[in-house]
Amino acid sequence: MHRFFLPPDAIQGETIIFPADTAQQIQRVLRLRSGEKVTVLDNSGWQYSVALTDANRGQVSGRVLEKSPVQSEPPVHLSLYLCLTQREKFEWMLQKCTEVGTAEFTPVLSSRSLVQDKQTYENKHSRWERIILEAAEQSGRGRIPPLNPPLDYTAAVETARATNDLCLIAWEEEHALRLPAALQNGPANTHLALLIGPEGGLSTGEVDQAVQMGWRAVSLGPRILRMETAAVVSAALVIDWFETRTG
Ligand code: SAH
């Protein structure tokens, strides 16, 4: 079943008017015809089963058959803080971590980040939002994770601390506290921030600074993971923990 996030004005009661870019995709790329069904998402947690009623000459509309809440959003709000890195790697992290269930992304410029200028981000912003959107549609998410503007390291750790219940920093030199152990007693709806360092690692000073603000350094095990591996693995561990715990 094809899934499309649509803006609020496309959903008019029982009628769906597909915006031009989606209409083009439905007709030219997917070659769907009147009567075929698609799923429409409103980015606020609802999905609509829709039968296409009219699909010709660039106009596509549909009729709502059923409206239901999306069941796939995780019970934890995971905000990932990812140090900026080369484009392919960053895009891969955005795509995979969206599939896994991340709620929002913030790029971070740390002292050893491979990419140090915010311009890189500004040039790529709409492309990266598109990657997140497509990953959210493909994986059946109910919400599109926002991509926040990049922050310098200090601003990132301060902002995250002010807006989350629990802040975790993945650090390969932490040998005692494994990530799942740091989640014990976390209530549902926990807002959790998780920071992944760059290829060159975080400096001890950066980790100390975060810890002094109330972050906890966590281990992903005794092996050194590449940053993109660390991002996906840690996001999956957090979401799995909240989705499968009982009681
Ligand atoms: N350059 C460092 C490794 C950096 S790995 C070195 O060679 O020692 C990139 C990022 O992935 C790290 O900053 C950290 O956030 C995360 N990471 C990788 N392996 C990890 C592990 N075993 N435990 C916790 N975090 C890890």
**CATH number of the CATH domain containing 236:** 3.40.1280.10
Main-chain dihedrals φ then ψ at residue 198, nearest 5 degrees? -85, 175
Distance of CA 203 from the midpoint of ligand 1 (Å):
11
Please check the confidence at residue 246 and state whether its pLDDT lies above 90: no
User: What does the pLDDT look like over 141-199, one tens digit per residue?
Assistant: 999 999 999 999 999 999 999 999 999 999 999 999 999 999 988 787 899 999 999 99
Measure CA of the first residue to CA of the last residue in the chain; give whole Å: 34
198: domain range? 77-246
Q: Are 105 and 61 in the same domain?
A: no
Q: Is 202 in the pocket of ligand 1 (CB under 6 A)?
A: yes
Q: Which of 81, 85, 172 has most ligand 1 atoms within 8 Å of CB, for mutation?
A: 172
Q: How many domains does the chain have?
A: 2
| CATH code for the domain in which residue 10 is found | 2.40.240.20
Query: For residue 166, what are the CA distances in angstroms to 17, 136, 145?
Result: 41, 25, 19
**20 and 129 share a domain?**
no
Same domain, 221 and 160: yes
**Residues 217 and 132 placed together within one structural domain of the fold:** yes
Domain edge (last residue) among 69, 97, 115: 69
Are 96 and 53 within one domain?
no
Which of 69, 99, 120 marks a domain boundary?
Answer: 69
Are 6 and 51 contacting, i.e. CB atoms less than 8 angstroms apart?
no
| Beta carbon of 142 within 6 Å of any ligand 1 atom | no
Confidence band for 247, pLDDT divided at 50, 70 and 90: low
